[in-house]
Amino acid sequence: MPGRSFGPLANRDCPMCGSGRKRTILPDQYYQLADLDRMSVVECEDCSLLFTDPIPTPAWLDAFLNPEVNAPWREPVWTSLEWQKEHSTEKFADGLKIIRKLMPQGTLLDVGTGPGLFVRMAEEAGYDSLGLDVLPEGIKRAVELGIPVLADDPGNNTLEGKFDIVTLWCVVAHEPNFTDLVKPWPRFL
């Protein structure tokens, strides 16, 4: 799909403190959403939060999540554990090292789990893990692979239970309003 774009991206201020002062930590070639849709990782110069900028607009997300528009991207990204292993194993392993230092054992909820690689890696590391996703392709594949996953959105208030750790790999980057994203989380922790 050379030259593919799903629509406009929007620059944003810090989603934590609202400051417009930021500096690039990782340039836009690091985080590519599609051939032409790229985001940088930036640091707020006032509160030090790391976040992505620019971010997808609602129109971009609609196109990206639409299976009729996005079938060539959806298939490998959301259904292939092999694709996820190739593109995310190192990042997930680094994340597990940090988690292990902070919490050597416990329950883990992985939001936006896709086909469930991080859940599988966390289970292998000794965590009681559960994946959560809203996209049927990833959920179906995780279930086929025997990875514990639920079809739900945390904002629906249907998920029950407490977790020691909540991860949101590649979810926060797509969320324009960080505070709305994290509002439901206190009831899980």
pLDDT in tens, 124-151: 999 999 998 887 778 888 898 899 998 8
Q: Which of 40, 47, 12, 45 is nearest to 24 (CA)?
A: 40
For the chain, domain boundaries: 1-65, 89-189
Question: What is the per-residue pLDDT across 89-126, written as a single tens digit (0 to 9) for each?
Answer: 888 888 899 899 989 999 999 988 888 899 999 999 99
Q: Please give the CATH number for the structural domain made up of 89-189.
A: 3.40.50.150
Round to whole Å and give the CA distance between 62 and 130: 27
Find residue 32's DSSP bridge partners.
38
Find residue 39's DSSP bridge partners.
31
Residues in the chain, total: 189
pTM of the model: 0.70
State the sign of the Cα–Cα–Cα–Cα dihedral 100, 101, 102, 104. positive
Q: Please give the CATH number for the structural domain made up of 1-65.
A: 2.20.25
